[in-house]
Chain A
Amino acid sequence: GEDVEQSLFLSVREGDSSVINCTYTDSSSTYLYWYKQEPGAGLQLLTYIFSNMDMKQDQRLTVLLNKKDKHLSLRIADTQTGDSAIYFCAESTGKLIFGQGTTLQVKP
């Protein structure tokens, strides 16, 4: 069945890099997504990667996709306190299936 899994919590120091990992099950996913949710807010589409790519870079964000292992990661360079939020990974299988979300805590 469809399932997306993430670790629940990550804590980093300001200025360090953050790496949030995700595994998914459906190899037919067309796109894979990263969403950001700040307290009291809806979800913001942060970035996405097409399934035939293995890397995408967008400013401080780097997405790596390993299709063989069905593993997706989001690296945030020079993490700032404003990056503190919940990050959701999602796979697209005709509908979006979301992971449980990873809470990123950035310490000054």
Chain B
Amino acid sequence: SAVISQKPSRDICQRGTSLTIQCQVDSQVTMMFWYRQQPGQSLTLIATANQGSEATYESGFVIDKFPISRPNLTFSTLTVSNMSPEDSSIYLCSVGDRGTNEKLFFGSGTQLSVL
């Protein structure tokens, strides 16, 4: 299993501002995944971040709103830009077993509230 550290663990932000969430993994992985969990809802994949290439975004998510960096094999950031109350969610970073996209392990998440 992988140990995933996310920060901040929670934040309260003002409308129109941006927040960058950091994700650190204790081993080198090719793919890192960013998920969103809206209040009372399931998890939705935002994007897949591969080191050395642009992130791949899922339908309904765009780079301008959720820019992602992946500077090395153990670290990634997700920025939530120009926030509105609808962005209030838990944002989770995850990695797959042995660098695959299977058996995902998750960080503890970032609880974001936008006022």
**Hey, which bits of chain A sit against chain B, CB under 8 A?**
30-31, 33, 35, 40-45, 48, 88, 92, 94-96, 98-101
Contact = CB atoms under 8 A, between A and B. Distances in A.
Contacts, number: 47
A39 B9 CA distance: 13
B62 interface: no
B43 A88 contact: yes
B45 interface: yes
Interface in B85-115: 92, 94, 101-109, 111
Q: Which residue of A40, A41, A43 has the most chain B CB atoms within 10 A of its CB atom?
A: A43
A42 B41 contact: no
A33 B103 contact: yes
Contacts of A88: 42-43
A89 B108 CA distance: 18
Interface string B1-27: 100101000000000000000000000
